[in-house]
Structure 1
Amino acid sequence: MSLVSIVYGKNFISAVSDGRGSSDNKIVDENIQKIREINSRTIIAFTGAFVAVEGNGQQFYLYEDIIGLAEKCFRNNTVKNAMKLFSTYIKEKRSSEEFGNFQITIVSLVENGNHDTLRLSTDNNPKNKYAIDKIKADDHIGNVIMTHQIGDKAEEINATFVENLQKSIFSDLSNAIQVYQDEQVKLNHQVSTYDDSVNENVYKLVLKRN
């Protein structure tokens, strides 16, 4: 399926993904960029069923349609309202029953005096609730790992990543964002050695607050 990791703070977002896309346990593409900019302050990440859909006489991956929808939602709404609208729409119009399961994380550096960073966690299952979280004032960073692994394996991947991240940060605070991204790339390579749904291709994206 895929692997995406995101690390974020008050003034930055760092996202890394592999490039393998699959559907019905079949690899459909080795070069899918699962992390994109919605705007200069916001990143969207997508994992799940990479199904092809028809529209305007052309065939394209569903996630391209979803990214376009996110861009529209964020163009004319506040960040929190855009997140709510987006989540409601995909559950109603791109439901898992019709299109297969996918998961989405959106992280945004909100333009306000508090330097808030908001994260939306959602999917296209109408039965599941979405969550919008804000990094707390006493938190240094937040992180999320998106993977098809569930249960103990997912917890192990996340725990190992966070442990390595903290060790690396403490050893080098002078270039923290690069340290974060190095650990994210390392995670991608580690998982790709034992999970054939993740490949060695690496896509990286960093946004910084001006």
Structure 2
Amino acid sequence: MSSGDPEFERLDVVPGVTLQIGTIRPARGAPEHALRKVELASLPGVRIVLQRFLQTEEGTTLGQVCVAAPSERWVTGIEELVLDRATSMARGEVPGELLRWASGVIRSDPSQSGSWFEQCFEGAAREGGRDMDVRGRHLLGFTEDERQALLCTLICSAPAREPEAASGCSALIENARLVGPLVAPPSPGLLMRGFMFAAENPRPAAAMLMMAGALVVAAVLRHRPRCP
């Protein structure tokens, strides 16, 4: 295995569910004070269950963050809003000048990623006079016992002038998966009709999940370690 090949590890998300993600060594974690605490008091039931950064000496950074929220008010089709909002926030928080961005289609193939919904995105940016390769992925799944929705966002950036580091980002993101007893989205109930009036009622539980995912993605990207 070369120094640029990913090594896999599993990070606890919620009981019974882990995030399998590659890491590039040597790496160091972000200092505690570098990660701003996200205020979720106004989003009942939503909580951060995983937040971590790794950074290599060569300038590659890998961020991982997951949030959990009650899933009993999930409604079919809201996955597009959840992932679109999270992606929009991710775009705006990429450091430097964003040169290119492309989001993939939302896929539903638990056999590949473990999650019920997943979406990849990639782009290019220029920061501090150097070009950066940006890769990311959203994983959205549901637990049965706890009736939770889990949203994990992964983002990796590397100096584009270093092909090995750039391909390392691709391998890390493409091989990430949720591991555990995840199930299909819950069937919508009568309460889901309230979502049709989201414009008049800005605080349905489903909308809270969307907002929480966006807040966490924004905080993670804004406060990730910067390279010298």
Give the strand-richer structure, 1 or 2.
Answer: 2
Work out which structure has the larger RCO, using CA pairs closer than 8 Å and 6 or more positions apart in sequence: 1
TM-score by length of 1: 0.30
Q: Determine which structure has the larger helix proportion and give its number.
A: 1
